[in-house]
Amino acid sequence: MASNPTTVATGSGGPAVDGQRPLRADALRNRARVLQAAEALFAAEGVGVPVDVIAEKAGVGVGTLYRHFPTKEKLYEAILIERIAGFTADARRRLGSENPGQAFFGFLEDLVAQSSLKRDLINAMAGAGVEFEVVAAEAKLALQAAVTDLLVVAQRAGSVRSDVTGPLVLSLIGATCVAADRPGQAASSNEMLAVVCDGLRVTGAGR
């Protein structure tokens, strides 16, 4: 698997990045500030934002930014991994909902709503020759497992058809996002998602 900035828990100190020794607390804060600033700027201005602008917004020097992310592609990777991990955590949080169907379909709505920046980053990484499927393989497997668990709970509650799987659901969501991005597309991602969700529901099940 290709190197990526996924953090790994360690016995002491902060997390390790790319198999290196754990980061100090101040280094962890700087890394988090860079990621937060980069994601905000990419969302507002696109992925072409200069590195020095990201560093300034994060309140760190350019050298500090490069110590954590030697290339802009590494920064793209880290943001993508963080976002996928966030989706996974969101799916896990919804598992204890009193309304499993609402939790499942609400997750899908939020996933589609938050996917535009991720697609921009994936396109930028593809242009730079970075294989996203390799970089994010571990994070995507974790997301798939969480979505599958959320789906199974909703199926047991009678809200979702029993013949669909977590990977199928994620494929449908991915296809919806890609289709909505096509030039001249008349339907919005929300409109497409509504049709997808209707197809996933058990006949007669409420929204």
Domain containing residue 173: CATH number: 1.10.357.10
**Number of Cβ atoms within 10 Å of the Cβ of 81:** 20
Please say if the pLDDT value at position 10 is more than 90.
Answer: no
Residue, of 119 and 198, whose pLDDT is higher = 198
Number of domains present in the structure of the chain: 2
Confidence tier at 133 by pLDDT (50, 70, 90)? confident
In a shared domain, residues 18 and 52: yes
In a shared domain, residues 194 and 93: yes
DSSP state string for 167-197: HHHHHHHHHHHHHHTSTT--S-HHHHHHHHH
In a shared domain, residues 112 and 138: yes
Please say if the pLDDT value at position 181 is more than 90.
Answer: no
Please say if the pLDDT value at position 119 is more than 90.
Answer: no
Least confident of 51-55, 111-115, 163-167, 185-189: 185-189
Section 65-81 average pLDDT: 90
Report how far residue 3's alpha carbon sits from residue 21's, in angstroms, rounded to the nearest whole number: 15
∠ Cα 15 78 84 (to 5°): 95
In a shared domain, residues 34 and 83: no
With a CB cutoff of 8 Å and minimum separation 6, the contacts of 87 are 111, 114, 143, 146
Section 92-113 average pLDDT: 95
Confidence tier at 13 by pLDDT (50, 70, 90)? very low
Residue the block writes with tokens 């609400």: 106
Residue, of 165 and 21, whose pLDDT is higher = 165
Domain that holds residue 58: 1-70
- Going by the DSSP 8-state scheme, the letter that residue 160 receives in this structure is B
Section 95-120 average pLDDT: 88
Least confident of 52-56, 100-104, 135-139, 196-200: 135-139
Please say if the pLDDT value at position 80 is more than 90.
Answer: no
Please say if the pLDDT value at position 206 is more than 70.
Answer: no
Section 170-197 average pLDDT: 83
Please say if the pLDDT value at position 204 is more than 90.
Answer: no
Please say if the pLDDT value at position 131 is more than 90.
Answer: no
In a shared domain, residues 90 and 62: no
160: β partners: 201
Domain boundary among 43, 70, 97: 70
Secondary element (H or E) of residue 57: helix 51-58
Tell me the pLDDT of the chain averaged across its residues: 83
In a shared domain, residues 41 and 108: no
In a shared domain, residues 24 and 47: yes
Number of helical (H) and strand (E) elements in the chain, helices listed first: 10, 2
In a shared domain, residues 61 and 90: no
pTM, two decimals, is 0.77
In a shared domain, residues 59 and 98: no
With a CB cutoff of 8 Å and minimum separation 6, the contacts of 12 are 22
